[in-house]
């Protein structure tokens, strides 16, 4: 019970994804949008859901992949264990 399901998908499918999660008793718990750069629209959405859980959706801070100069952000470097 209370299995976890993580999904990476395109943001334009968010409504469909949330509808299907609920249909299969997976409660969305966390949503985080991934943006290529700070002033660009998100191109990915990260979703965490838990089976048969109570509603409690949180929108996390955005994840930015690149700085304005094209280098990876500190958070991306940390995720991939590339920080010097």
Divide the 84 residues of the chain into consecutive groups of 10 and give the mean pLDDT of each group. Answer: 92 98 98 98 99 97 98 96 82
Extents of the domains making up the chain = 4-79
Half-sphere exposure (CA, 13 Å, Cβ side) for 68? 1
Half-sphere exposure (CA, 13 Å, Cβ side) for 32? 14
**43 dihedral zone (left: phi>0; alpha: psi -120 to 50; beta):** alpha
Q: Which CATH architecture has domain 4-79?
A: 3-Layer(aba) Sandwich (3.40)
Q: Residue 11 carries which DSSP code?
A: G
**What pLDDT, on the 0 to 100 scale, is given for residue 2?**
74
What's the pTM?
Answer: 0.92
């Amino acid at each position: 019970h209370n299995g976890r399901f993580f999904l990476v998908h395109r943001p334009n499918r968010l409504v469909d994804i949330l509808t299907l999660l609920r249909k299969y008793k997976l409660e969305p718990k966390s949503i985080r949008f991934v943006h290529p750069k700070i002033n660009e629209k998100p191109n990915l959405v990260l979703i965490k859901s838990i089976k048969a859980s109570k509603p409690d959706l949180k929108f996390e801070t955005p994840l930015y992949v690149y700085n304005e100069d094209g280098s990876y952000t500190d958070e991306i470097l940390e995720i991939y264990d590339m920080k010097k």
